[in-house]
Amino acid sequence: MTPLSRITDSHCHLDFPDFDGEVADIVARARAAGVHRMVTICTRLNAEPAVRAIAEAHDGVFYAAGIHPMRAAEDPRVTVDQLTGFAAHPKFVGIGETGLDYHYTAESAAVQQESLRIHIAAARETGLPLIIHSRAADEDMARILTEEFRAGAYGCVMHCYSSGPGLARAALDLGFYLSMSGIAAFPKSRELRDIFAAAPLERILVETDAPYLAPPPHRGRRNEPAYAAHTAKVGAEIFGLDYAEFAARTEANFDRLFTKAARTAKAA
């Protein structure tokens, strides 16, 4: 592996308590591992000021905001105007994470679906990519994403993709991206690796979802953006590429989807 090949952690949570007092060190370790950009994700709107402050304090750190589907029923209902209002900030680069989670919160499915459609409307209006969390909801997710896309195009990444091949195909058919997390590096994730292998390389991103889902050799411990390099190494193996080539291709993919982050980086 070439440590200095640059990659982007397209999804992490630097505001979570796991990183209290350590964000500067976390960012420094990421850069040392070649992870030169990170998108830190706000999962409830009352945390947006703290997440924004982290992005403002660190070069190469961008942010997105939305209501996580597991919080959709307990948090105040988000509006399109709230979400689009964040887009004025130069480091705000995505809408979400949003989506559907029927594994833990199936009882709020109707509220989650309504929230998802609001986030899609904001993504469509701003031109920023939608960041999707989906768990145990493949059929409804594919249906809603397709219905909404037919009503008006938008960009989207299926974050931490770990669902089945059917949802992957539906997302890819809409021109969306699949993001590879540490789950893809777990030894028992062969079926998931097969899903990624069947996808076009130009639709693949890399992420950590830190502090969760650390890839080997850190599995079971706190994840952090530097460890995206371990997942990218597995990604390179899946696609039969050397690390530097896989890193370059996923960098181009990130720039193509997260165009605002790419423009901001070039202007800096």
Q: Is the pLDDT of residue 268 over 80?
A: no
In the chain, the domains with their CATH numbers are 7-267 (3.20.20.140)
Beta-ladder partners of 179: 205
267 pLDDT more than 80: no
Which residue from 62, 61, 91, 95 is spatially nearest to 78, judged by alpha carbons?
95
Q: How confident is the model at residue 166 (pLDDT cuts 50, 70, 90)?
A: very high
Query: DSSP assignment, residue 210?
Result: B
CB 39 within 8 A of CB 261: yes
Tens digit of pLDDT for each residue in 204-242?
999 999 999 999 999 999 999 999 999 999 999 999 999
pTM value > 0.75? yes
